[in-house]
Amino acid sequence: MKQLLDMHTWSRKDHFHFFSRFEEPFFGVCVDIDCTMAYQHAKAMDTSFFLYYLHGSLVAANNTPPFRYRIHDGQVWIYDQVNASPTINRPDNTFGFSYMDYHADYRTFEAGARVEMERVRQSTGLVPAVSGENVIHYSSLPWLSFTGLSHARSFSFPDSCPKISFGKIKEQHGRKIMPLSVHVHHALMDGYHVAQFVQAFQERMDAGRDNL
Task: Please return the burial class of 92, using the count of CB atoms within 10 Å of its CB with bins 0-12, 13-18 and 19+.
Answer: exposed
CA quadruple 189, 17, 84, 150: dihedral sign: negative
Which of 17, 55, 185, 186 is the catalytic position?
Answer: 186
What is the C-alpha separation between 114 and 124, in angstroms, rounded? 17
Residue 186 among the catalytic residues:
yes
CA quadruple 202, 204, 207, 209: dihedral sign: negative
Residue 192: half-sphere exposure toward Cβ, Cα within 13 Å:
4
Helix (H, G, I), strand (E, B) or coil at 195: helix
DSSP string, 31-84: EEEE-HHHHHHHHHTT--HHHHHHHHHHHHHHTSGGGGEEEETTEEEEES--EE
Question: Which residue numbers are catalytic?
Answer: 186
